Chain A
Amino acid sequence: MERLSAGRVPIVWRTATVSGLVDESTHARTLVLDVPGWPGHVAGQHVDVRLTAEDGYQAQRSYSIASAPEAAQLALTVERIEDGEVSPYLSEDLVVGDPLELRGPIGGPFTWRVADAGPLLLLAGGSGLVPLMAMLRHRAAQRSVVDAHLLVSSRGLDDVLYRDELAGLAGTVGLEISYTLTREQPAGWTGFARRVDAEMLRAIAPPPSARPRTFVCGPTPFVEHVADALVGLGYDQATIHAERFGPTG
Protein backbone atom coordinates (compact mmCIF):
# COMPACT_ATOMS: atom_id res chain seq x y z
CA MET A 1 0.00 0.00 0.00
CA GLU A 2 0.99 3.54 -0.68
CA ARG A 3 2.62 5.18 2.32
CA LEU A 4 0.53 8.28 2.76
CA SER A 5 1.97 9.93 5.82
CA ALA A 6 5.21 11.28 4.39
CA GLY A 7 4.97 15.00 3.76
CA ARG A 8 1.31 15.20 4.57
CA VAL A 9 -0.56 17.96 6.28
CA PRO A 10 -1.19 17.12 9.97
CA ILE A 11 -4.74 16.07 10.81
CA VAL A 12 -5.65 19.01 13.05
CA TRP A 13 -8.98 20.54 14.11
CA ARG A 14 -10.12 23.34 11.83
CA THR A 15 -13.10 25.62 12.28
CA ALA A 16 -15.23 25.50 9.16
CA THR A 17 -18.16 27.81 8.44
CA VAL A 18 -21.49 26.51 7.21
CA SER A 19 -22.13 28.24 3.90
CA GLY A 20 -25.08 26.18 2.69
CA LEU A 21 -27.57 23.51 3.72
CA VAL A 22 -29.32 21.21 1.26
CA ASP A 23 -32.12 18.85 2.30
CA GLU A 24 -31.48 15.61 0.41
CA SER A 25 -34.41 13.64 1.84
CA THR A 26 -36.72 13.80 4.84
CA HIS A 27 -33.89 12.57 7.06
CA ALA A 28 -30.64 13.61 5.38
CA ARG A 29 -29.05 17.00 4.88
CA THR A 30 -25.92 18.13 3.11
CA LEU A 31 -23.69 20.62 4.93
CA VAL A 32 -21.70 22.81 2.56
CA LEU A 33 -18.62 24.10 4.35
CA ASP A 34 -15.87 26.62 3.90
CA VAL A 35 -12.81 25.09 5.55
CA PRO A 36 -9.81 27.41 5.94
CA GLY A 37 -6.59 25.59 5.09
CA TRP A 38 -8.34 22.43 3.89
CA PRO A 39 -5.53 20.25 2.48
CA GLY A 40 -7.70 18.50 -0.11
CA HIS A 41 -9.00 14.95 -0.11
CA VAL A 42 -9.46 11.83 -2.18
CA ALA A 43 -12.97 10.62 -3.04
CA GLY A 44 -14.09 8.10 -0.42
CA GLN A 45 -12.42 9.70 2.58
CA HIS A 46 -14.17 11.03 5.68
CA VAL A 47 -13.77 13.69 8.36
CA ASP A 48 -14.24 13.76 12.10
CA VAL A 49 -16.69 16.38 13.33
CA ARG A 50 -16.59 17.69 16.90
CA LEU A 51 -19.36 19.54 18.72
CA THR A 52 -18.72 21.49 21.93
CA ALA A 53 -21.45 22.36 24.46
CA GLU A 54 -21.29 25.57 26.48
CA ASP A 55 -19.94 23.71 29.51
CA GLY A 56 -17.11 22.22 27.46
CA TYR A 57 -18.65 18.77 26.89
CA GLN A 58 -17.65 17.45 23.48
CA ALA A 59 -18.88 14.75 21.12
CA GLN A 60 -17.15 13.48 17.97
CA ARG A 61 -18.43 11.47 15.02
CA SER A 62 -17.15 10.59 11.54
CA TYR A 63 -18.92 11.61 8.32
CA SER A 64 -18.10 10.72 4.73
CA ILE A 65 -17.20 13.50 2.34
CA ALA A 66 -19.80 13.84 -0.43
CA SER A 67 -18.02 16.43 -2.56
CA ALA A 68 -15.48 15.77 -5.26
CA PRO A 69 -11.87 16.75 -4.54
CA GLU A 70 -12.32 19.29 -7.36
CA ALA A 71 -15.17 21.11 -5.60
CA ALA A 72 -14.48 24.53 -4.10
CA GLN A 73 -16.30 23.67 -0.88
CA LEU A 74 -16.41 20.59 1.29
CA ALA A 75 -19.79 18.85 1.46
CA LEU A 76 -20.87 16.30 4.09
CA THR A 77 -24.22 14.54 3.92
CA VAL A 78 -25.55 13.62 7.35
CA GLU A 79 -28.34 11.14 7.89
CA ARG A 80 -30.35 11.85 11.02
CA ILE A 81 -30.31 9.00 13.51
CA GLU A 82 -33.42 9.55 15.65
CA ASP A 83 -31.79 8.79 19.00
CA GLY A 84 -28.36 9.96 17.92
CA GLU A 85 -26.28 12.56 19.71
CA VAL A 86 -24.58 14.43 16.87
CA SER A 87 -26.57 13.80 13.67
CA PRO A 88 -29.84 15.45 14.87
CA TYR A 89 -27.88 18.60 15.69
CA LEU A 90 -26.10 18.65 12.33
CA SER A 91 -29.22 17.87 10.31
CA GLU A 92 -31.72 20.10 12.16
CA ASP A 93 -30.13 22.72 14.40
CA LEU A 94 -27.13 23.91 12.42
CA VAL A 95 -27.74 27.10 10.38
CA VAL A 96 -25.81 28.92 7.68
CA GLY A 97 -23.01 30.95 9.22
CA ASP A 98 -22.45 28.59 12.16
CA PRO A 99 -18.92 27.42 12.92
CA LEU A 100 -18.26 23.68 12.77
CA GLU A 101 -15.08 21.97 13.94
CA LEU A 102 -13.72 19.18 11.81
CA ARG A 103 -10.49 17.43 10.94
CA GLY A 104 -9.34 15.24 8.12
CA PRO A 105 -9.26 13.93 5.52
CA ILE A 106 -9.07 10.43 6.97
CA GLY A 107 -9.06 7.02 5.32
CA GLY A 108 -6.79 5.08 2.98
CA PRO A 109 -8.08 2.00 1.17
CA PHE A 110 -11.68 3.13 0.64
CA THR A 111 -10.68 5.72 -1.97
CA TRP A 112 -10.72 6.04 -5.73
CA ARG A 113 -8.95 8.35 -8.13
CA VAL A 114 -9.56 8.49 -11.88
CA ALA A 115 -5.91 7.42 -12.29
CA ASP A 116 -6.76 4.14 -10.51
CA ALA A 117 -8.92 3.32 -13.57
CA GLY A 118 -11.76 0.84 -13.60
CA PRO A 119 -14.08 -0.79 -14.03
CA LEU A 120 -15.71 0.68 -10.96
CA LEU A 121 -18.42 -1.14 -9.04
CA LEU A 122 -20.19 0.96 -6.41
CA LEU A 123 -22.74 -0.66 -4.13
CA ALA A 124 -24.62 1.65 -1.78
CA GLY A 125 -27.01 0.85 1.03
CA GLY A 126 -28.99 3.95 2.07
CA SER A 127 -26.71 6.80 3.06
CA GLY A 128 -23.75 4.57 2.21
CA LEU A 129 -24.11 6.34 -1.12
CA VAL A 130 -22.29 9.42 0.25
CA PRO A 131 -18.62 8.42 -0.27
CA LEU A 132 -19.53 6.67 -3.54
CA MET A 133 -21.13 9.90 -4.75
CA ALA A 134 -17.81 11.65 -4.14
CA MET A 135 -16.22 9.08 -6.47
CA LEU A 136 -18.84 9.68 -9.20
CA ARG A 137 -18.54 13.44 -8.80
CA HIS A 138 -14.75 13.12 -9.11
CA ARG A 139 -15.21 10.95 -12.21
CA ALA A 140 -17.55 13.56 -13.73
CA ALA A 141 -15.28 16.49 -12.81
CA GLN A 142 -12.40 14.75 -14.56
CA ARG A 143 -14.60 13.94 -17.58
CA SER A 144 -13.60 10.34 -17.11
CA VAL A 145 -15.38 7.68 -19.15
CA VAL A 146 -14.12 4.83 -16.95
CA ASP A 147 -16.69 2.03 -16.95
CA ALA A 148 -18.69 2.55 -13.74
CA HIS A 149 -21.67 0.75 -12.24
CA LEU A 150 -23.65 2.07 -9.30
CA LEU A 151 -26.33 0.10 -7.49
CA VAL A 152 -28.32 2.03 -4.89
CA SER A 153 -30.40 0.11 -2.38
CA SER A 154 -32.97 2.21 -0.51
CA ARG A 155 -36.20 1.63 1.35
CA GLY A 156 -38.19 3.89 -0.97
CA LEU A 157 -37.60 6.38 -3.77
CA ASP A 158 -37.84 9.34 -1.37
CA ASP A 159 -34.91 7.92 0.60
CA VAL A 160 -32.55 8.01 -2.40
CA LEU A 161 -29.99 10.77 -1.93
CA TYR A 162 -28.93 13.05 -4.82
CA ARG A 163 -31.80 11.81 -7.02
CA ASP A 164 -31.81 14.65 -9.52
CA GLU A 165 -28.04 14.72 -9.82
CA LEU A 166 -27.91 10.96 -10.34
CA ALA A 167 -30.61 11.25 -13.01
CA GLY A 168 -28.41 13.77 -14.80
CA LEU A 169 -25.29 11.60 -14.49
CA ALA A 170 -27.16 8.50 -15.69
CA GLY A 171 -27.00 9.61 -19.30
CA THR A 172 -23.21 10.02 -19.36
CA VAL A 173 -20.86 7.71 -21.20
CA GLY A 174 -19.74 4.63 -19.33
CA LEU A 175 -21.96 5.04 -16.27
CA GLU A 176 -24.80 2.68 -15.42
CA ILE A 177 -27.01 3.37 -12.42
CA SER A 178 -29.46 0.83 -11.00
CA TYR A 179 -31.82 1.09 -8.06
CA THR A 180 -33.49 -1.38 -5.80
CA LEU A 181 -36.30 -0.19 -3.53
CA THR A 182 -36.64 -2.70 -0.76
CA ARG A 183 -39.78 -1.51 1.03
CA GLU A 184 -41.92 0.75 -1.08
CA GLN A 185 -42.05 1.16 -4.86
CA PRO A 186 -43.92 3.89 -6.74
CA ALA A 187 -46.55 2.90 -9.31
CA GLY A 188 -44.95 1.75 -12.55
CA TRP A 189 -41.55 1.10 -10.89
CA THR A 190 -39.31 -0.82 -13.29
CA GLY A 191 -36.19 -1.12 -11.11
CA PHE A 192 -35.39 -3.87 -8.64
CA ALA A 193 -37.64 -4.31 -5.63
CA ARG A 194 -35.79 -6.61 -3.22
CA ARG A 195 -32.67 -6.85 -1.11
CA VAL A 196 -29.45 -7.05 -3.10
CA ASP A 197 -28.71 -10.68 -3.98
CA ALA A 198 -26.33 -12.65 -6.20
CA GLU A 199 -28.72 -12.58 -9.15
CA MET A 200 -28.99 -8.79 -8.97
CA LEU A 201 -25.21 -8.42 -8.75
CA ARG A 202 -24.80 -10.68 -11.77
CA ALA A 203 -27.23 -8.46 -13.69
CA ILE A 204 -25.60 -5.10 -12.94
CA ALA A 205 -21.89 -5.77 -12.30
CA PRO A 206 -18.92 -6.49 -14.55
CA PRO A 207 -17.95 -10.17 -14.25
CA PRO A 208 -15.34 -11.27 -11.69
CA SER A 209 -12.85 -11.71 -14.55
CA ALA A 210 -13.01 -7.93 -15.15
CA ARG A 211 -11.71 -7.44 -11.59
CA PRO A 212 -13.79 -4.32 -10.89
CA ARG A 213 -12.62 -2.00 -8.13
CA THR A 214 -15.51 -2.58 -5.79
CA PHE A 215 -16.68 -0.28 -3.02
CA VAL A 216 -19.48 -1.39 -0.72
CA CYS A 217 -20.84 1.10 1.80
CA GLY A 218 -23.86 1.02 4.04
CA PRO A 219 -25.23 -0.33 7.30
CA THR A 220 -23.34 -3.35 8.63
CA PRO A 221 -25.95 -5.99 7.63
CA PHE A 222 -26.04 -4.60 4.06
CA VAL A 223 -22.25 -4.65 3.72
CA GLU A 224 -21.92 -8.11 5.27
CA HIS A 225 -24.60 -9.48 2.95
CA VAL A 226 -23.29 -7.84 -0.24
CA ALA A 227 -19.60 -8.58 0.42
CA ASP A 228 -20.42 -12.23 1.15
CA ALA A 229 -22.45 -12.42 -2.10
CA LEU A 230 -19.54 -10.93 -4.09
CA VAL A 231 -17.10 -13.45 -2.60
CA GLY A 232 -19.59 -16.22 -3.40
CA LEU A 233 -19.75 -15.05 -7.03
CA GLY A 234 -15.98 -15.32 -7.31
CA TYR A 235 -14.84 -11.70 -7.03
CA ASP A 236 -11.29 -11.44 -5.69
CA GLN A 237 -11.49 -10.36 -2.05
CA ALA A 238 -8.55 -8.01 -2.54
CA THR A 239 -10.66 -5.92 -4.97
CA ILE A 240 -13.56 -5.51 -2.49
CA HIS A 241 -13.38 -2.45 -0.25
CA ALA A 242 -15.96 -2.19 2.48
CA GLU A 243 -17.10 0.57 4.78
CA ARG A 244 -19.63 -0.39 7.41
CA PHE A 245 -21.53 1.93 9.66
CA GLY A 246 -23.98 1.39 12.44
CA PRO A 247 -26.72 3.67 13.77
CA THR A 248 -24.68 5.06 16.62
CA GLY A 249 -24.40 8.68 15.55
Chain B
Amino acid sequence: MAPISRGFHGRRREADPDRVPPGQYVVDDFPVLSAGPTQRTPTDSWTFAIGGAAESGAAWSWEELNALPQETFTTDIHCVTKWSKLGTTWTGVSVDTLLEDVVTEAEFVTAWSDGDYTTNLTLEDVTDGKAWVVHTFEGEPLEPEHGGPARLLVPHLYFWKSAKWVRGLTLTLDDEPGFWEAAGYHNHGDPFKEQRYWSD
Protein backbone atom coordinates (compact mmCIF):
# COMPACT_ATOMS: atom_id res chain seq x y z
CA MET B 1 0.00 0.00 0.00
CA ALA B 2 1.57 3.23 -1.15
CA PRO B 3 1.91 5.91 1.56
CA ILE B 4 -0.27 8.99 1.03
CA SER B 5 1.70 12.08 0.01
CA ARG B 6 0.13 14.52 2.47
CA GLY B 7 -1.31 17.51 0.65
CA PHE B 8 -0.66 16.16 -2.85
CA HIS B 9 -3.59 16.50 -5.22
CA GLY B 10 -1.96 16.33 -8.64
CA ARG B 11 -2.81 18.19 -11.80
CA ARG B 12 -4.87 15.63 -13.57
CA ARG B 13 -5.85 15.88 -17.16
CA GLU B 14 -8.97 14.47 -18.64
CA ALA B 15 -7.62 11.44 -20.41
CA ASP B 16 -9.12 8.14 -21.47
CA PRO B 17 -7.68 5.56 -19.05
CA ASP B 18 -7.79 3.00 -21.85
CA ARG B 19 -5.29 5.14 -23.73
CA VAL B 20 -2.97 6.30 -20.92
CA PRO B 21 -0.98 3.44 -19.33
CA PRO B 22 -0.32 3.35 -15.56
CA GLY B 23 2.30 5.84 -14.34
CA GLN B 24 2.18 7.89 -17.54
CA TYR B 25 1.13 11.52 -18.04
CA VAL B 26 -0.02 13.13 -21.26
CA VAL B 27 2.13 15.80 -22.93
CA ASP B 28 1.42 18.11 -25.84
CA ASP B 29 5.06 18.71 -26.77
CA PHE B 30 7.40 16.02 -28.09
CA PRO B 31 10.29 15.45 -25.66
CA VAL B 32 13.65 14.32 -27.06
CA LEU B 33 15.58 11.47 -25.44
CA SER B 34 18.65 9.58 -26.57
CA ALA B 35 21.89 8.49 -24.97
CA GLY B 36 24.29 10.30 -27.29
CA PRO B 37 24.53 12.99 -29.96
CA THR B 38 21.77 13.30 -32.56
CA GLN B 39 22.67 11.37 -35.71
CA ARG B 40 22.45 13.14 -39.06
CA THR B 41 22.76 10.59 -41.83
CA PRO B 42 22.08 12.13 -45.26
CA THR B 43 19.44 10.28 -47.25
CA ASP B 44 21.75 9.82 -50.26
CA SER B 45 23.97 7.49 -48.21
CA TRP B 46 21.11 5.97 -46.20
CA THR B 47 20.20 2.30 -46.63
CA PHE B 48 17.95 -0.07 -44.74
CA ALA B 49 19.01 -3.69 -44.48
CA ILE B 50 17.46 -6.91 -43.28
CA GLY B 51 19.97 -9.61 -42.45
CA GLY B 52 20.98 -12.18 -39.88
CA ALA B 53 19.30 -15.57 -39.65
CA ALA B 54 17.49 -15.50 -43.00
CA GLU B 55 17.89 -17.50 -46.20
CA SER B 56 18.60 -14.23 -47.97
CA GLY B 57 18.71 -10.63 -46.82
CA ALA B 58 17.21 -7.53 -48.33
CA ALA B 59 18.26 -3.89 -48.63
CA TRP B 60 16.72 -0.63 -49.79
CA SER B 61 18.07 2.79 -50.63
CA TRP B 62 16.13 5.87 -49.49
CA GLU B 63 14.42 6.11 -52.89
CA GLU B 64 13.60 2.41 -52.88
CA LEU B 65 12.09 2.59 -49.41
CA ASN B 66 9.96 5.53 -50.46
CA ALA B 67 8.81 3.59 -53.54
CA LEU B 68 7.36 0.80 -51.36
CA PRO B 69 3.68 0.91 -50.34
CA GLN B 70 3.30 3.64 -47.69
CA GLU B 71 0.88 3.68 -44.77
CA THR B 72 -0.31 6.74 -42.87
CA PHE B 73 -1.76 6.04 -39.44
CA THR B 74 -2.54 7.70 -36.12
CA THR B 75 -1.45 6.16 -32.83
CA ASP B 76 -0.46 6.91 -29.21
CA ILE B 77 3.16 6.70 -28.05
CA HIS B 78 4.44 6.02 -24.54
CA CYS B 79 7.97 6.80 -23.29
CA VAL B 80 9.39 4.91 -20.30
CA THR B 81 10.36 8.32 -18.84
CA LYS B 82 6.61 8.68 -18.14
CA TRP B 83 5.26 10.87 -20.94
CA SER B 84 2.64 9.74 -23.39
CA LYS B 85 1.65 11.59 -26.54
CA LEU B 86 -1.77 10.81 -27.93
CA GLY B 87 -2.96 10.90 -31.50
CA THR B 88 0.36 11.15 -33.34
CA THR B 89 0.25 10.67 -37.12
CA TRP B 90 3.04 8.96 -39.01
CA THR B 91 3.80 7.76 -42.52
CA GLY B 92 6.11 4.91 -43.40
CA VAL B 93 6.49 1.33 -44.54
CA SER B 94 5.06 -1.58 -42.57
CA VAL B 95 7.67 -4.05 -41.33
CA ASP B 96 5.38 -6.71 -42.86
CA THR B 97 6.17 -5.20 -46.27
CA LEU B 98 9.91 -5.26 -45.55
CA LEU B 99 9.79 -8.90 -44.43
CA GLU B 100 7.55 -10.04 -47.29
CA ASP B 101 10.24 -11.93 -49.22
CA VAL B 102 12.35 -12.93 -46.23
CA VAL B 103 12.35 -16.60 -45.30
CA THR B 104 13.51 -17.19 -41.75
CA GLU B 105 13.20 -19.43 -38.72
CA ALA B 106 14.19 -16.57 -36.45
CA GLU B 107 11.78 -15.57 -33.70
CA PHE B 108 13.57 -12.36 -32.70
CA VAL B 109 14.96 -9.24 -34.31
CA THR B 110 17.51 -6.67 -33.26
CA ALA B 111 16.87 -3.21 -34.68
CA TRP B 112 20.15 -1.34 -35.13
CA SER B 113 20.77 2.33 -35.69
CA ASP B 114 23.36 4.95 -36.48
CA GLY B 115 25.12 5.82 -33.23
CA ASP B 116 25.46 2.12 -32.28
CA TYR B 117 22.01 1.88 -30.72
CA THR B 118 20.23 -1.48 -30.66
CA THR B 119 16.96 -2.79 -29.31
CA ASN B 120 15.57 -6.33 -29.33
CA LEU B 121 12.03 -7.39 -30.18
CA THR B 122 10.20 -10.60 -30.89
CA LEU B 123 9.26 -11.08 -34.51
CA GLU B 124 5.68 -11.28 -33.29
CA ASP B 125 5.93 -7.73 -31.92
CA VAL B 126 6.95 -6.25 -35.28
CA THR B 127 4.63 -8.17 -37.64
CA ASP B 128 0.88 -8.25 -38.38
CA GLY B 129 0.58 -4.47 -38.62
CA LYS B 130 2.32 -3.66 -35.34
CA ALA B 131 5.52 -1.93 -36.55
CA TRP B 132 6.70 0.46 -39.25
CA VAL B 133 9.80 2.23 -40.51
CA VAL B 134 8.52 5.82 -40.52
CA HIS B 135 9.97 8.92 -42.15
CA THR B 136 7.11 11.42 -41.80
CA PHE B 137 5.58 12.87 -38.63
CA GLU B 138 2.41 14.97 -38.84
CA GLY B 139 2.93 15.35 -42.58
CA GLU B 140 6.50 16.69 -42.30
CA PRO B 141 9.86 14.92 -42.75
CA LEU B 142 10.88 13.43 -39.39
CA GLU B 143 13.38 15.76 -37.64
CA PRO B 144 16.82 14.30 -36.76
CA GLU B 145 16.17 14.90 -33.01
CA HIS B 146 13.15 12.62 -33.29
CA GLY B 147 14.97 9.92 -35.24
CA GLY B 148 14.91 11.16 -38.83
CA PRO B 149 15.49 10.44 -41.58
CA ALA B 150 13.72 7.25 -40.45
CA ARG B 151 12.94 5.52 -37.19
CA LEU B 152 11.29 2.28 -36.22
CA LEU B 153 7.82 2.74 -34.76
CA VAL B 154 6.42 0.04 -32.48
CA PRO B 155 3.73 2.01 -30.67
CA HIS B 156 2.39 -0.81 -28.49
CA LEU B 157 5.74 -0.98 -26.64
CA TYR B 158 7.64 1.73 -24.70
CA PHE B 159 9.18 4.18 -27.11
CA TRP B 160 12.82 3.08 -26.64
CA LYS B 161 11.84 0.06 -28.75
CA SER B 162 11.02 2.50 -31.58
CA ALA B 163 14.69 2.89 -32.50
CA LYS B 164 15.66 6.34 -33.80
CA TRP B 165 17.93 6.55 -36.88
CA VAL B 166 17.16 2.91 -37.65
CA ARG B 167 19.22 1.33 -40.42
CA GLY B 168 18.31 -2.30 -40.28
CA LEU B 169 16.81 -5.35 -38.65
CA THR B 170 18.95 -8.37 -37.79
CA LEU B 171 16.96 -11.58 -37.46
CA THR B 172 18.17 -13.73 -34.56
CA LEU B 173 17.39 -17.24 -33.33
CA ASP B 174 18.01 -16.22 -29.72
CA ASP B 175 16.77 -13.15 -27.87
CA GLU B 176 19.71 -10.76 -27.57
CA PRO B 177 19.21 -7.79 -25.19
CA GLY B 178 19.82 -4.39 -26.80
CA PHE B 179 21.24 -1.13 -25.45
CA TRP B 180 18.68 -0.28 -22.76
CA GLU B 181 17.58 -3.88 -22.23
CA ALA B 182 21.15 -4.75 -21.19
CA ALA B 183 21.23 -1.68 -18.92
CA GLY B 184 18.37 -2.81 -16.70
CA TYR B 185 15.28 -1.86 -18.70
CA HIS B 186 12.58 -4.44 -19.35
CA ASN B 187 13.15 -6.93 -22.14
CA HIS B 188 9.63 -6.61 -23.55
CA GLY B 189 8.42 -3.15 -22.45
CA ASP B 190 4.61 -3.30 -22.54
CA PRO B 191 3.43 0.09 -21.18
CA PHE B 192 0.00 -1.22 -20.16
CA LYS B 193 1.74 -3.81 -17.95
CA GLU B 194 4.16 -1.08 -16.80
CA GLN B 195 7.17 -3.17 -17.83
CA ARG B 196 9.74 -0.41 -17.30
CA TYR B 197 12.65 -2.21 -15.65
CA TRP B 198 13.96 -5.76 -15.76
CA SER B 199 12.29 -6.80 -12.52
CA ASP B 200 8.81 -5.42 -13.43
Interface residues of A (CB under 8 A from B): 1-5, 8, 10-13, 15, 48, 50-54, 57-62, 83, 85, 89, 93, 98-101, 103, 106-110, 220, 224, 227-228, 230-231, 237-238, 240-244, 246, 248
CB distance from A174 to the nearest CB of B (A): 26
**A residues within 8 A CB of B23?**
50, 58, 60
CB distance from A91 to the nearest CB of B (A): 13
Known contacts A62-B82, A224-B38, A227-B38: A246-B5 contact under CB 8 Å: no
A contact patch SS: mixed
Q: Within the complex, which residue of B9, B36, B197 is in contact with A237, where a contact is CB–CB below 8 Å?
A: B36
Cα-based distance from A209 to B164 in the complex (angstroms): 28
CB distance from A119 to the nearest CB of B (A): 18
Cα-based distance from A43 to B49 in the complex (angstroms): 37
B2 touches A52 (CB 8 A): yes
Q: Jot down 13 A-B pairs with beta carbons below 8 A, ordered by A.
A: A8-B184, A51-B10, A53-B4, A59-B8, A59-B10, A85-B25, A98-B6, A99-B5, A100-B5, A110-B35, A242-B36, A244-B34, A248-B25
**A residues within 8 A CB of B32?**
220, 224, 244, 246
Q: Does B179 contact A (CB under 8 A)?
A: yes
**B residues within 8 A CB of A50?**
2, 23
A224 touches B145 (CB 8 A): yes
Nearest B residue to A93, CB-CB: B7
B179 touches A1 (CB 8 A): yes
A242 touches B35 (CB 8 A): yes
CB distance from A33 to the nearest CB of B (A): 13
CB distance from A14 to the nearest CB of B (A): 11
Cα-based distance from A240 to B36 in the complex (angstroms): 6
**A residues within 8 A CB of B38?**
224, 227-228
**B residues within 8 A CB of A244?**
31-34
A4 touches B184 (CB 8 A): yes
Cα-based distance from A53 to B11 in the complex (angstroms): 11
B31 touches A220 (CB 8 A): yes
B81 touches A11 (CB 8 A): no
B6 touches A10 (CB 8 A): no
B4 touches A12 (CB 8 A): no
Contacting A at CB under 8 A, from B1-55, are 2-12, 23, 25, 27, 29, 31-38
- Given A5-B182, A220-B145, 15 additional A-B pairs, CB 8 A: A8-B184, A50-B23, A52-B8, A57-B10, A57-B12, A89-B8, A98-B5, A108-B182, A108-B183, A227-B36, A237-B37, A242-B37, A248-B25, A248-B29, A248-B83
